[in-house]
Chain A
Amino acid sequence: MTTEAVQLSERRLGKFGDKYFAGRPQQVLLRNWISFKSSAWIAVVSGFLEPVLYLLSFGYGIGELVGSIATPGGEISYAAYIAPGLLATSAMNGAMLDSTWNVFFKLNESRLYNAMLATSLGPLDVALGEIAWALMRGGIYATAFTVIVAALGLVTTWWALLAIPAAIIVAFGFASFGMAITSYMKSHHQMNFFYIFLLPMFLFSGAFYPLTVFPGWGQAIIKALPLRQGIELVTRAMSGEFGIHILVNISYFMVMICVGLFFTTKRLNALFMK
C-alpha cells in the first residue's frame, strides 16, 4: 500500500518541520498562476496603474505649485521627491490586498485552504506559497514603476534599481503581517480594521511632504509606523545614499516578516487542527 503520494509524504519524515511543511509551496504558486492566466489578469495588471496616476497628478500638478524640495542630497523636483513614497505605498497596498481580502476569501468563503490542507500539504506551504505570489506580483509592479520613474528622468543613479528589492522587502513585511492578522478575523466586517489603519498611515507617512510639518512627538509616532519605514527604505535605495540608517529600516521589516510568518503558521495550524 505505497502509492506515489504516500512515498512522497514519507520522504519528508524527519526533515525540517515535517508536520507543518511538505516542502511544496511552489504548488500553491502554481495554483495562483493557473487562476491568474484564466481570469484575474485585468485586476492584477491594472493594479500597477494607481501609483503611476498619483505620480503624474501629484508630481506634475502639485509639483508646479510646490516648486522644488530641499533634501540632504540637494534640490529635487516634487515628482522625484514623491516617487519613492508612492512605490513603497503601492508595495504596501498590493501586498495587503493579496494577503487580506484574497486570503480571507480563500480561508472563509471558498475554503480553498481547507482543500489544500486535506492533502499532504502543510500550513507553512500555504503561507509561503501565498506570500511568494504576493511578492512576485509586487516585484513586477515595482519594476514597472521604477522603469517609468526612470523614463520620466526622475532618477539620477543606477543605484535606483535597488528600489525594486527594497519594495519587495516592504511588500514581504506587509504581506506576512497582513496574512497573520487576517487569519484571526472571523467576519468580513472586521476586515475594515485594516482600512481604519491603512488610510491614516498612507496620509501621514510623509509620502507627499516632509515630516517636519508635524511637531516632534508626531514625527516620532509616524517614524514607528511600518509605511514610514518602508518609504525611508525605498527613498534611500532609490537615491543610492544609504547610510547606516538603511539597516534600521531593513531590520524593522525582517522583524515584521518573521513575526508575521510565525503567527500565520501558528494560526493556520490551529484553525485546521482544531
Chain B
Amino acid sequence: MSEPLIHARGLTKTYGDFVAVDGIDFDVAKGESFGFLGPNGAGKSSTMRIIGATSVRTSGTLTILGKDPEVNGPQIRAHLGVVPQQDNLDVELTVSENIFIYGRYFGLSSSFINKKIPELLEFAQLEEKKDVKVQALSGGMKRRLTIARSLVSEPDILMLDEPTTGLDPQARHILWDRLFRLKEQGVTLLITTHYMDEAEQLCDRLIVMDKGKIMAENSPAQLIKDYSTKEVLEVRFGSDRNQEMVEVLRPLAERIEVLPDRILLYAEDGEQLLESIAAKGIHPNTSLVRRSSLEDVFLRLTGRTLVE
C-alpha cells in the first residue's frame, strides 16, 4: 500500500487547560472519503484546522503529502481546498469575482482562472447567478459557491467542515450529489459532521470522536455491525410513564437506551420484539421499527446523542 496522504500519530491540541484534541491517530489514503463524526465540541474542527495548516498542534506528529504543516504551511495549503463551517465568501463581490480573486490568492494566472470559472459555475449550478452579489444568494447557493471557490486551485484534498449544517433538506441533497461527483473524480474528501445520515452517505471510513478522543474507527456499515443490532424499536409511553416502563422492558431487548422522550430497544428483529411486548399486555402510545444507524453507534459509545 502506498504512503497515506495524511498521517497523524498522537495528535494533540490544547487551549490552556482545555484539551480539544487528545492524542488521536489516523491515516487517510488517497481518493478516500474520510469522516469525523461527533457532537459539537468533540474536537473535529480543531483537527481540521491543524490539517489545514491554520492551527499549530501542541504535540504529536502529522504529515500531509509527506510534509509537516508547521514547516510547510503555505505549501500544504496550496494542496487543500477549504470549506469552513461558517461561510467566509467575499460579500462585497459577485459570484464569479469570488472565484476569480480566490484563485489569485493562490497566485494563479488570470487566464488559468478564467478558463476554470465556467466549469466551476456549472459544477455549483450557479451559472445564472454569476454576476450576482454573494449577499443575495440562498444558504445552499453560498455553500456550493464556497465549495466551487475552494476547487479553483485544483486541490488534492477537499476539507469540508459541517458542510450541510443549516441547510434545508433539498439543498443538502443537491450538495451531497455534488460531493459524490468530486469523489468519483478521485478528490480526497475530509468531512466533519454531526449528522449521522451525512456520514453514512458520504464517508468510506470515519472516526467517531467525543471529547477530543477517537471512540471507534471503521466504515459506517461495519461500525453499525460492531456496535449495534440490526434493528431498533422506538417506543413512547408519554413523558410520565417512560421511566417506569424501562425495568419491565429491559429483559426483552438485547440492549435498551432511555432518551428524554422515548425508549430505544435494540434487537435483530424489531417487529418480533414489538409483538412480544404486546403479548405481555404492554401497549406504547407510539412505536416505530427502523434500522440501526450511526446515531445508535454513538449512543452506545458515549451514552449521549449526537445532536443535543
B107: which of A1, A22, A31 is its contact (CB, 8 Å)?
A22
Residues of A within 8 A of B80 (CB): 118
A116 at the interface (CB under 8 A from B): yes
B6 at the interface (CB under 8 A from A): no
A38 at the interface (CB under 8 A from B): yes
Q: Which residue of B is nearest A270, CB measured?
A: B56
Taken together as a complex, chains A and B put the C-alpha atoms of A8 and B77 apart, in Å, by 12
How far does the Cβ of B31 sit from chain A's closest Cβ, in whole Å?
Answer: 12
Q: Name the interface size band of chain B.
A: 35 or more
Taken together as a complex, chains A and B put the C-alpha atoms of A6 and B79 apart, in Å, by 6
Known: A6-B79, A13-B75, A18-B74. A120 touches B105 (CB 8 A): yes
What sequence of 0s and 1s flags, for each residue 74-93 of chain B, a beta carbon within 8 Å of any chain A beta carbon? 11011110101010111111
A-B interface pairs (CB < 8 A), number: 120
Taken together as a complex, chains A and B put the C-alpha atoms of A268 and B73 apart, in Å, by 15
A10 and B55 form a contact (CB under 8 A) = no
Q: Classify the secondary structure of A's interface with B.
A: helix
A6: which of B75, B84, B94, B102 is its contact (CB, 8 Å)?
B75
B104 at the interface (CB under 8 A from A): yes
B54 and A117 form a contact (CB under 8 A) = yes
Residues of A within 8 A of B155 (CB): 3, 5
- Residues of A1-27 at the interface with B, using a CB-CB cut-off of 8 Å, are 1, 3-6, 8-10, 12-13, 18-19, 22, 24, 27
A56 at the interface (CB under 8 A from B): no
- Residues of A96-146 at the interface with B, using a CB-CB cut-off of 8 Å, are 110-112, 114-122
A31: which of B65, B90, B112 is its contact (CB, 8 Å)?
B90
Taken together as a complex, chains A and B put the C-alpha atoms of A19 and B72 apart, in Å, by 7
Residues of A within 8 A of B200 (CB): none
B101 at the interface (CB under 8 A from A): yes
Q: Which residue of B is nearest A117, CB measured?
A: B54
Residues of B within 8 A of A34 (CB): 93, 97, 100-101
Known: A18-B74, A272-B54, A273-B55. A120 touches B106 (CB 8 A): yes
A39 and B156 form a contact (CB under 8 A) = no
A115 and B108 form a contact (CB under 8 A) = no
A119 and B73 form a contact (CB under 8 A) = no
B25 at the interface (CB under 8 A from A): no
Q: Which residue of A is nearest B69, CB measured?
A: A273
A5: which of B54, B72, B153 is its contact (CB, 8 Å)?
B153
Interface positions of B (Cβ within 8 A of A)? 15, 52, 54-56, 65, 72-75, 77-80, 82, 84, 86, 88-94, 97, 100-102, 104-109, 112, 153-156
Having A1-B156, A27-B105, A31-B101, one finds 19 other A-B pairs with CB under 8 Å, namely A3-B154, A3-B155, A4-B108, A5-B78, A5-B107, A5-B154, A6-B79, A9-B74, A9-B75, A13-B72, A13-B75, A22-B74, A111-B86, A112-B88, A114-B84, A115-B89, A117-B54, A120-B74, A274-B55
Q: Mind listing 19 A-B residue pairs with CB under 8 Å?
A: A1-B156, A5-B79, A8-B78, A8-B107, A9-B74, A9-B78, A9-B106, A22-B107, A24-B104, A27-B105, A34-B97, A40-B92, A111-B84, A112-B90, A115-B90, A118-B52, A120-B78, A273-B54, A274-B15
Interface positions of A (Cβ within 8 A of B)? 1, 3-6, 8-10, 12-13, 18-19, 22, 24, 27, 30-31, 34-35, 38-40, 110-112, 114-122, 272-274
